[in-house]
Structure 1
Amino acid sequence: MMEKHYLIAVLIFVPCLLLRIRCATAQVGYSGKEKDALAALKTSFNHPFLNANWTGDPCFMSQPSMWYGIQCTNFSIIGRVTGIVLDSMELRSNIKLDAFMDFTELATLSLKNNSLWGNMMDFSLNLKLTHIDMSGNILHGEISHSLLSLGMLELLLLQDNDFGGPIPEFNQLTLKAFNVSNNNLSGLIPITHALQAFGYDSFSGNAGLCGPPSSILCNSSSTVRGIDNPASGQVGELSSSKSEVKLSVYWFLLDVAALVVVILLFLLYYKKSQKLKKMMKQLEMNKSASTNQDEKGEVGDDKDKRIEEGRQDQTMKAAEVEGQDQHKRGKLEFVQPHGADDHQIFEMGDLLKASAESLGNGIFGNSYKAEIVTMNNVAGNQIKQSVVVKRLRDLKPLVSEDFTKQLQVIASLKHPNLLPLLAYYFSKNEKLLLYKYIRKGNLFNRLFGKRVPDRIPFGWRSRLIVAQGVARALEYLHRNATSSIQSGSSSSSTSTSTSTAPHGNLKSTNVLLDDNDGVLVSDYGFASVVAIPVATQRMVIYKSPEYQKSKKVSKASDVWSYGSLVLELLTGKISACTAQPGLNGVDLCSWVHRAVREEWTAEIFDREITMHRRASSDMVRLLKIAMRCCDPSPEKRPGMDEIVRELENIRVTESEVDEDESSSLDQSLTDESVSATALPARYK
C-alpha cells in the first residue's frame, strides 16, 4: 500500500522537477544578461567607488547583494536584480536608451541628484517597475511613452531636469507620487484621472504648460487629450514582453501546483502511518492484557510511564524548536567576559522584553536605553541592568564573517578611556551593538545644556580632565587600532584612506562622562564598515581641511577633530564641523585667530572657566595645543603621543580649584605670547 503511494509521488514529482530545472535554466540566462547590463552601466559611470565595489556576482543565492546600490531577490538558486539605487554619487554619464531593458524584475530605480544627461531610457520591458526617481539630473528630450506601459507604477519623479515636449497621458491609478516640475515641458496637461489628482506643484516651473490644475488657459489651437485614452503605438512594442510575462506566470502556477501535490501526498502518508502505528500499538496492548490478567496493574503503570515519557519528549521537541527559532533569528554575541564592568550575560529574548527609551539618532543609527531584568540563579533574585542598544544602518554590504571580524577588532581595544563594546547581534535585517549605559550622558549636553540657576558649573579642572582623557584614548587608538581596522576595510582607495583614521568621528556627543568623572570615548573604529557615500556626508573626518582639498584623511584628521573638540571645551561654543542639525556652529579656529589678532582674547574663554584667574597660563597652553592640532596642513599637526606628553605637564592645583569666583582673566589673556606662538602660520 505504501509502495503505491511512493510510486504516485515519484510519477508526479519528477515531471515537476524537470519543469523546474527548465525554468531555472531560463532564469540563469536572465541573470547573465543582467550582469552584462550592470557591467555596461559600470563602464558608463566610470565611478572609482563603483569600479572597486561592483565585482563578483551581483546576486547570488539567498545572500544580500554585495554590490553597492543593488537590490536582489531570488528565483530558486538564481538571484535577480530588483532595485538600483545610486543617489547623490556625482555620476556623470550619457546612459543608453536600452540600459535597463534586461532588468525584467526591476521594481525600484533611483538615480536622483547626479549629472546624467541624454534622452530618457526605454522602460517598455520593465513591467514590474513601481518606483522611478530620475530627479536632479540634466536629462533632455521628451518623456518616454514607454512609461505608459508600467501598470504597477506608484512613484515617478522627473523634476529638475531639461525635458521638453508634452506630458504623456499617464493614467495609472496606482500613481501615488508624481512630479515633473522645473523642466521645459509644453502643451496641455493631460486630463486623466491619475494626473488631475495631483496639485499644481507637480507641474510648476514649466512655462509652456497650460490647463488644469494650473491657472493658465490653453488657446484654441491646443489639442484636448481625453480621459483614459490609451497610448497609441504601444501594442506592437509590448506583445513580446506580454508573452514573456504570461509564460512566467504559467511556470509559477505550475510550480505552485506541484508543491501543493507534494504536500498533500506527504500529509496522506503521515496520516496513514500514524493510523497504522496506533492500530499496532492497540493490538499489542490487547495481546498483553489477554496473556496475563494479573498484570493489569503493571500495564497501567507502563501506560502512565509512557504518558510521562511522551510529555518529556514533547517538552524536548518544544525546546528544540525554540532553539531552532533562536538560531534562525541569531543570538547575542558577548565580547566582554561575564561580570566585566558589572554586566550580566542575558539572552536576545531578555532584550526583546526590556523596556526601551529613545536616546536619539546618530550617523550609525538610532540608539535606545534598555532596562534588562534577569534572574540570579544563585541568589534567586532579580538583577536589573541598563544598556545602550545601537541599531546600525547605512553599512557596507557585509556578510556575517566580515561583520564579526570587524567587531572582534573593536572589542580587542581596551583602555580606561574607551567605552567597551559589550555584545553585538547580526542578522540579515538587523545589526545591533550593545554598550553599558553611562548615566551622566555626553560632553555635548554638559557643555551646551541650558545654564539654569542651579546648574553645577563645568569648571577648568573638569574640562582639563576631559581633554587629557580624550587625548589618552586617541593616542591608544593611534598606537593599536590602525592596522587591524585597515585590514577589514574595503580595497578602494577612499576606503583605505578612511581606515587610517582610527576613530574617524570624534565629537562632543561621542565623549561620555561616568559617575566618577571619568572620560569614555565611544563610536570608534567604524569608519571601515560605514558605506562610503554616507560616511563622506556625516563623519567628522570628512570635514577636515585635507579632505576638502585632496579627498584624503589620516591619523592627522583625528588630531584635527581633537583640536576642534578642545576649542569647544575652552570657548563654550559649538564647532561648525560637529554642529547637530538645527544648530549654528562656529569656525572656531578662524574665530580664535580673529580674537587674538584684534586683542579681545579674554572673550575666547567660556565664562565658567574665566573665574579661575590663577589658571590663565594653563588655559593659554591648552589653547596653543588646540590651535596646533587645527593647523590646515596635516604634516604640521602634532602626533597624539606628543599631545599627551604636553597635557600631562598641565596640572591643576588646589588653589586654582578653590579660587574666588569673582576674579577674571581680562588682563592676563592679552599677553603677546598668545598671538606670537599660539597660531599656525596660516593664521598669522
Structure 2
Amino acid sequence: MSPSNFSNFLLVMALLVLHKRVTAQDGTIGYHGYERDALLALRKGFNNTFLDGNWTGIMCYMNDTPYWYGVQCLNGRVTGVTLESMKLTGGIKVDALVNLTQLITFSFKNNSISGNMMDFSYNRNLRNIDLSGNSFDGKISSSLVNLNSLEALQLQDNKLTGPIPGLNQPTLKTFNVSYNHLSGAIPETRALQSFGYSSYLGNENLCGPPTPTLCNTRNDVSESNGENSGDKSSNSSRFAAILVAVDVIVLVVILFLFIIYYKKYKNLKKEMKLKNLLPKDEEHDSRIAERTMVKKVPEGDQGKLVFIEGNHGVTFELDDLLRASAEGLGKGNFGNCYKAMLEGGQVVVVKRLRDLKPLNREEFMRQVRAIADQKHQNLLPPLAFYYSKDEKLFLYKFASHGNVFNRLHGDRDTRDRVPFRWSSRLAVARGVARALRHLHLNTRSQTTAPHGNLKSSNVLLDNENDEILVTDYGLTSLIALPIAAQRMVSYKSPEYQSHKRISKKSDIWSYGCLLLELVTGRIPSHSAPQGMNGVDLCGWVHRAVREEWTAEIFDTEIAVQRGANHGLLRLMQIAMRCCDKSPEKRPDISRVVAEVEEIKIGGDSEDEEYDYSSLERSLTDESLSASRSIVSGDDLR
C-alpha cells in the first residue's frame, strides 16, 4: 500500500470512529438509541406534561450527570428509572424494558399506572423493583424468578391476581405483595418463607405459611407445587378434619370465656352505679351531669393526683374527685371536660385526655411540668394531673364566666343576651396577645407553635372583671401528630396546608383569626364546633373591602357604639396583617402586643348610637389599603 493510500485509509478510519462517538453521544445509533427509544415509549404511555418537556435531547453521556429527570446512567448506559409520586397515569407495555438491558433500579411507586406487569427477562442486572401504590393487574411476571441479583421487590397496594412465583434468590432482602388479590399457596422457598406475614397481608385467598390460613385442598397445593399425589391429598383431608375439630373446641372455649366476662362486666357496672361512678342514662352522657371522670382501674395502677407547685393551696385526693358531683361541660378536641364540685366547696374542671402519644409516666410528667412552668397572669396552667395506664387527666381552675366563644356567639337570638361590649372585646385581644407573647418568648424552638390551638373557646373569662385566661396551650408535645394535624388550629394555617410546616407565626395567624372573630361576630371555619358552619374570615373581610360592602363587616353589637370606630378599624388592620398567607410577612408577637396596647377604648358613653355611614366611609378610605394584599378566601382553604 502506497503512503498516500495508507494516509487515506487512516483518515477514513478516524472519521468512522468519530462518527461512532458522535452518534453514540446523540443517542441515535447503537444501544444508546435503543435505550432512548424505550424511554420515549414509556414517556408516550404516561402523557405527562413534565416528562414531555424534560425527556428531550441528550439522555446521558458517559458518566456525566443524566439530563433526564429520574434516569440514572453509568458509562453512558441507562441503569435506573425512578419516577415516584408523580401522579403518572396510563400503562406500560409488557415488553417496554426489553432494550434497557443494564437496568439496576426500576421504581414507579405511588402513581396510578395500570395494566399487566412488564417482562423482566432481558433485565438480568435488576436489583431493586418497586411498583407499589399503583393499579397493576394480572399475574406477577414469572420472569422475576430468573433475576439472580434481585434484592428488593415491592408490589404492595396493586390489583395483582394469581399465584406468587417461586422466587428463591438468596439476595432477596425486601419483599412485599400485601393488599393485592393474589391466591394459592405461598411457595415454600427459603427466600419467600423468610418474610413475615406482613409481606402477604390483604390477600384473602393466599394460604400456607407464613399466613395463618392452611391450604386444605388439592387445588391449593397443585397451584403452588404442581403435585397431585394421592397420599398428600389424603393427608390433607385428614388434617382438614382435625383442624375443623380444633376450631370447634376453640370456639366453644371463647364463647364460654365471653359469657364469664359479660357476667363480670354487668356486676362491675352495677357496683359502679351504686357508687355513683356511672350516669344513670349513658345515652345522654353528653347532655346531662356525668358521674365518672376516672375509669375504675386495678389496684396498683390507680396512682395519685399530682398537684403542680404554686396551685394556691388547692389539694384533695383522687377519692374526693370520684365522689364529687360532676357536670358535663362539653366534648373537646382531645377529650371531654367536666365541672367537678367537691364536698368542701371547691370547684375544678377535669379534662380527660385522649389520642396522646405513647408516653410513659416519666415522659408524661416531664411534658406536663413544662406546660405548668409557663407562669403568666393571662395563662391558665393545670392545677394537677393524673396518670395511669388507662387514664390521663388535667385539672384546672374553674373560670366562672365561661369562654369567649360562648360569650360572643351565645344567646344571639334571645332577649336574655347581654351585649359583649367593645371594651370587653379589646380586653380579650390584649390579654390573649400578652399571654401569647409570654409563650413565644419562653419557647426556643422555631419549628413549633408554642400555643398551637388558639381559638375563642380556649380563651376563658373569670371573676366579675372578666379576667382573660388562655388555656389548652402546649398540647403539641402530648398529642400524636396525625391527630394534631386534624384537630389543632395551627395545623389549619396556610403554611401547613401547603408545606406541612408550623412555627410561631402559625400562632400569629390563629391570633389574627381570633381578632377577626371579635370584630365581626362571625364564627371562623377552621375552629367552628361540630355541627356549626363557619366562615373563612380572612378571605371574607378582604372580599368585603374589595367589593365595597364594608357596612356588613363589623358586628352591629359594637359598630353602633360611640368611639369604637377608630379602634375597630385599627384592630382589623392588625388582624389582616397577622392573617397574611406568607408567615414571613406576619408581624412578630411583640410588635402585635405593642400595636394592640396603643388602641384606645373610645368615648365615655358606649350606649349612644354612632352614625354607621361614617364607619363605612372609614373602611373604604386609604387606611385599609394595606390589607388589600391579603389573599382571597379560596387560597386560605
The normalised TM-score by structure 2 is 0.54
State the match for 1:600 in structure 2: 549
**Is 1:444 aligned with 2:405?**
yes
Compute the displacement of 1:163 (Å): 10
Within the candidate set 465, 478, 484, 2:427 is matched to 465
SS of 1:329 mapped into structure 2: coil
State the match for 2:12 in structure 1: none
**Number of matched pairs:** 380
Compute the displacement of 1:533 (Å): 1.1
State the match for 1:399 in structure 2: 360
Query: In structure 2, do the counterparts of structure 1 residues 238 and 459 end up closer, same or farther at CA, with 3 Å as the change threshold?
Result: farther
Aligned counterparts of 1:571 and 1:429: Cα–Cα separation in 2: 43
**Is 1:477 aligned with 2:439?**
yes
Within the candidate set 578, 589, 592, 1:629 is matched to 578
Q: Deviations over 1:234-263 (max 9, x none)?
A: 9949959988x989x99xx9xxxxxxxxxx
Identity of aligned residues (%): 50
Aligned counterparts of 1:406 and 1:599: Cα–Cα separation in 2: 49
Query: In structure 2, do the counterparts of structure 1 residues 538 and 391 end up closer, same or farther at CA, with 3 Å as the change threshold?
Result: same
SS of 2:460 mapped into structure 1: strand
Compute the displacement of 1:92 (Å): 4.7
State the match for 1:508 in structure 2: 456
Contact map agreement 2:433 2:592 (CA 8 A) in 1: yes
Letter paired with 2:314: Q
Within the candidate set 175, 181, 197, 1:141 is matched to 181
Contact map agreement 1:610 1:664 (CA 8 A) in 2: no
Contact map agreement 1:616 1:665 (CA 8 A) in 2: no
Compute the displacement of 1:677 (Å): 2.1
Compute the displacement of 1:445 (Å): 0.5
Q: Superposition RMSD on alpha carbons, in Å?
A: 3.9
Query: In structure 2, do the counterparts of structure 1 residues 666 and 140 end up closer, same or farther at CA, with 3 Å as the change threshold?
Result: farther
State the match for 1:411 in structure 2: 372
State the match for 2:617 in structure 1: 670
SS of 1:418 mapped into structure 2: coil
Letter paired with 1:421: P
**1:49-448, aligned counterparts within 5 Å?**
92=133, 116-118=157-159, 141=181, 236=236, 239=239, 327-337=300-310, 340=312, 344-373=314-343, 383-448=344-409
**Is 1:658 aligned with 2:605?**
yes
Q: Deviations over 1:545-588 (max 9, x none)?
A: 00111010100000000000100000000011111111111111
Letter paired with 2:371: I
Letter paired with 1:408: R
Aligned counterparts of 1:144 and 1:670: Cα–Cα separation in 2: 77
Instruction: Compare relative contact order (CA 8 Å, sep 6+) and give the higher one, 1 or 2.
Output: 1
Query: In structure 2, do the counterparts of structure 1 residues 472 and 236 end up closer, same or farther at CA, with 3 Å as the change threshold?
Result: farther
Query: In structure 2, do the counterparts of structure 1 residues 121 and 458 end up closer, same or farther at CA, with 3 Å as the change threshold?
Result: farther
SS of 1:370 mapped into structure 2: strand
Query: In structure 2, do the counterparts of structure 1 residues 565 and 681 end up closer, same or farther at CA, with 3 Å as the change threshold?
Result: closer
Q: Deviations over 1:417-461 (max 9, x none)?
A: 101210000011110110011121111101111222232110110
Aligned counterparts of 1:445 and 1:657: Cα–Cα separation in 2: 27
Compute the displacement of 1:94 (Å): 9.7
Contact map agreement 1:387 1:437 (CA 8 A) in 2: yes
Compute the displacement of 1:658 (Å): 1.3
Contact map agreement 1:372 1:386 (CA 8 A) in 2: yes
The normalised TM-score by structure 1 is 0.51
Query: In structure 2, do the counterparts of structure 1 residues 328 and 461 end up closer, same or farther at CA, with 3 Å as the change threshold?
Result: same
Query: In structure 2, do the counterparts of structure 1 residues 353 and 626 end up closer, same or farther at CA, with 3 Å as the change threshold?
Result: same
Letter paired with 2:399: I
Contact map agreement 1:141 1:164 (CA 8 A) in 2: yes
Query: In structure 2, do the counterparts of structure 1 residues 93 and 457 end up closer, same or farther at CA, with 3 Å as the change threshold?
Result: same
Aligned counterparts of 2:321 and 2:453: Cα–Cα separation in 1: 28
Query: In structure 2, do the counterparts of structure 1 residues 562 and 239 end up closer, same or farther at CA, with 3 Å as the change threshold?
Result: farther
State the match for 1:222 in structure 2: none
Q: Deviations over 1:368-419 (max 9, x none)?
A: 111112xxxxxxxxx2111111111001111011000000101101101101
SS of 2:558 mapped into structure 1: coil
Aligned counterparts of 1:391 and 1:403: Cα–Cα separation in 2: 14
Q: Deviations over 1:295-327 (max 9, x none)?
A: xxxxxxxxxxxxxxxxxxxxxxxxxxxxx9875
Compute the displacement of 1:145 (Å): 11
Compute the displacement of 1:670 (Å): 2.2
Aligned counterparts of 1:399 and 1:120: Cα–Cα separation in 2: 44
Aligned counterparts of 2:398 and 2:451: Cα–Cα separation in 1: 20
Structure 2: gaps of 5 or more residues:
1-83, 86-131, 137-155, 164-177, 187-201, 206-232, 254-296
Letter paired with 1:398: L
Within the candidate set 473, 487, 492, 1:543 is matched to 492
SS of 2:475 mapped into structure 1: coil
SS of 2:350 mapped into structure 1: strand
Aligned counterparts of 2:491 and 2:349: Cα–Cα separation in 1: 27
**Is 1:530 aligned with 2:479?**
yes
Compute the displacement of 1:681 (Å): 4.9
Contact map agreement 1:563 1:625 (CA 8 A) in 2: yes
Contact map agreement 1:482 1:501 (CA 8 A) in 2: no
**Is 1:613 aligned with 2:574?**
no
SS of 1:609 mapped into structure 2: helix
Contact map agreement 2:562 2:605 (CA 8 A) in 1: no
SS of 2:342 mapped into structure 1: strand
Aligned counterparts of 1:164 and 1:325: Cα–Cα separation in 2: 39
Compute the displacement of 1:143 (Å): 8.7
Letter paired with 2:422: W
SS of 2:505 mapped into structure 1: helix
SS of 1:608 mapped into structure 2: helix
Letter paired with 1:336: E
Q: Deviations over 1:40-68 (max 9, x none)?
A: xxxxxx99xxxxxxxxxxxxxxxxxxxxx
Contact map agreement 2:182 2:203 (CA 8 A) in 1: yes
Within the candidate set 570, 589, 599, 1:640 is matched to 589
